[in-house]
């Protein structure tokens, strides 16, 4: 099977959707499929191991690092010449519309993975000054209109499927297929006793935050918890891995809270360093209310690292209180950190066990079934 992956965000930008798409593509290739990419032109030459067809695009100024496609260019000719069997879109904006256009023009089954709660992101990045309530209502109108069109919509977790249905989204089919985790890449054996020393954290109790530094990720909740715990846990530190448009905002907040010496902003880590980070810290901290899955949760669990996560949306789907991590509400982050650190060692085995249930191979097998279902649905529609 040959799959064309469409992406609103793509390298050099790296976010959850990009990581998920890379993981999915690698899983499909290991099972004998071929993957090509269709993405916005980043404006400069890039080395990439798969064939990529770039479409003319310009920067989306409200969210640095993202680009909006201006023209489909020779998209249809590319898809036709590649003899694509499945179109799989990983975005909700211009590339979703273009991928549906290609699907209908060439009669190719269309699958869309719902990675982003666009109704919430819009309040941070809307290019026009429209009241939040009106903007969110407009986004849901758009999503209802968009998501009724793919043959299969993939929700990365059951709570996201329920949220879509609860907001009146009528889909031809919605399948829950998490993005799998590579349990060989992320593993307790990746522990490196020298890793923390690189950041001056040797001998400290370290929480890890991994993700794009954007406002919707709510790192502010974690920073305030670190400040609250400072008098009680003088050796507690937070290692923040990632880049993004809100990096300076969060650095300023750490200064305002008086914890600049307790928070290390490491920026982007190379691929070979990230598994070491997960396996070498005491716990992962994730305060985002934005997650449709939170792949970082599974990466941490696969590394034997318990998770302190927000009790919201997808996170409780993978984190069970006291078993492989601890959950919190916005005002109880500090208490959850204390609970998790007190039991971290006893939760390591359960963490790894949970991650294995969501291995790349297991999740790719589910995705193949979703592709088959999309083909059957389109065939029935074409016969009608």
pTM: 0.87
Instruction: Quote the CA–CA distance of 370 and 351 in Å, as a whole number.
Output: 28
Helix (H, G, I), strand (E, B) or coil at 129: coil
Write the CA distances from 264 to 254, 281, 337, integer angstroms.
10, 13, 18
Q: What is the pLDDT of residue 128?
A: 65
Query: Does residue 316 share a domain with residue 261?
Result: yes
Query: Does residue 15 share a domain with residue 163?
Result: yes
> Residue 126, exposed/middle/buried by CB under 10 A (0-12, 13-18, 19+)?
middle
Query: Does residue 203 share a domain with residue 323?
Result: yes
Q: What is the pLDDT of residue 371?
A: 98
Query: Does residue 366 share a domain with residue 352?
Result: no
Domain count, the chain: 2
The enclosing domain of 16 has a CATH number of: 3.40.50.2000
Write the CA distances from 195 to 198, 278, 283, 324, integer angstroms.
6, 10, 15, 23
> Residue 98, exposed/middle/buried by CB under 10 A (0-12, 13-18, 19+)?
buried
Residue 357: alpha-carbon gap to chain centroid: 18
Task: Report mean pLDDT in 10-residue bins for the chain, 384 residues.
Answer: 94 84 95 96 84 90 72 94 97 93 98 86 64 87 97 96 96 97 96 96 97 92 98 97 94 98 96 96 94 92 98 95 96 97 95 96 97 98 91
Q: What is the pLDDT of residue 47?
A: 83
Identify whether the C-beta of residue 262 lies closer than 8 Å to the C-beta of residue 251: no
Q: What is the pLDDT of residue 132?
A: 76
Q: What is the pLDDT of residue 249?
A: 97
From the list 129, 136, 174, the residue with the least C-alpha distance to 156 is 174
Instruction: Quote the CA–CA distance of 99 and 228 in Å, as a whole number.
Output: 47
Instruction: Quote the CA–CA distance of 356 and 180 in Å, as a whole number.
Output: 9
Q: What is the pLDDT of residue 125?
A: 57
Query: Does residue 370 share a domain with residue 350?
Result: no
Query: Does residue 369 share a domain with residue 338?
Result: no
Instruction: Quote the CA–CA distance of 306 and 304 in Å, as a whole number.
Output: 7
Identify whether the C-beta of residue 278 lies closer than 8 Å to the C-beta of residue 254: no
Query: Does residue 87 share a domain with residue 118?
Result: yes
Query: Does residue 24 share a domain with residue 40?
Result: yes
Q: What is the pLDDT of residue 13?
A: 80
Could you tell me the residue range of the domain that residue 286 belongs to? Answer: 188-356
Query: Does residue 193 share a domain with residue 341?
Result: yes
Q: Residue 12, preceding bond cis, omega within 30 degrees?
A: yes
Query: Does residue 100 share a domain with residue 248?
Result: no
Backbone angles phi, psi at 270, to 5 degrees: -60, 155
Query: Does residue 259 share a domain with residue 173?
Result: no
From the list 309, 307, 313, 343, the residue with the least C-alpha distance to 328 is 309
- Longest CA span, the chain: 69
Query: Does residue 83 share a domain with residue 21?
Result: yes
């Amino acid at each position: 099977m040959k799959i064309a992956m469409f992406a609103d965000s793509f390298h050099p930008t790296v976010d959850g959707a990009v990581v998920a798409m890379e993981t999915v593509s690698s899983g499909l290739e290991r099972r004998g499929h071929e993957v090509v990419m269709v993405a916005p032109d980043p404006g400069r030459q890039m080395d990439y191991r798969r064939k990529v067809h770039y479409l003319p695009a310009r920067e989306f100024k409200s969210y640095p690092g993202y680009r909006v496609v201006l023209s489909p260019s020779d998209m249809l000719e590319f898809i036709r010449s590649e003899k694509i069997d499945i179109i799989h879109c990983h975005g909700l904006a211009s590339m979703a519309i273009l991928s549906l256009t290609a699907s209908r023009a060439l009669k190719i089954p269309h699958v869309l993975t719902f990675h982003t709660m666009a109704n919430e992101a819009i309040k941070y990045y809307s290019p026009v000054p429209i009241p939040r309530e009106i903007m969110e209502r407009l986004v849901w109108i758009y999503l209802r209109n968009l998501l009724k069109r793919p043959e299969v919509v993939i929700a990365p977790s059951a709570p996201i499927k329920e949220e879509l249905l609860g907001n009146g989204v009528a889909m031809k089919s919605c399948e829950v297929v998490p993005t799998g985790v590579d349990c060989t890449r992320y593993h307790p054996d990746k522990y490196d006793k020298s890793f923390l020393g690189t950041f001056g954290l040797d001998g400290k109790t370290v929480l890890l935050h991994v993700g794009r530094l954007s406002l919707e990720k709510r790192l502010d909740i974690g920073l305030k918890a670190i400040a609250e715990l400072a008098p009680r846990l003088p050796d507690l530190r937070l290692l923040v891995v990632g880049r993004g448009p809100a990096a300076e905002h969060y650095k300023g907040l750490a200064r305002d809270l008086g914890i600049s010496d307790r928070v290390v902003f490491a920026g982007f880590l190379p691929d070979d360093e990230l598994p070491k980070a997960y396996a070498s810290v005491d716990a992962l901290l994730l305060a985002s209310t934005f997650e449709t899955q939170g792949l970082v949760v599974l990466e941490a669990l696969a590394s034997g690292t318990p998770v302190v996560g927000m009790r919201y949306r997808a996170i409780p789907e993978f984190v069970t209180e006291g078993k492989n991590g601890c959950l919190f509400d916005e005002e109880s982050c500090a208490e959850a950190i204390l609970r998790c650190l007190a039991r971290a060692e006893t939760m390591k085995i359960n963490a790894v066990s949970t991650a294995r249930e969501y291995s790349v191979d297991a999740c790719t097998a589910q995705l193949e079934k979703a592709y088959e279902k999309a083909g059957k649905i389109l065939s029935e529609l074409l016969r009608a």
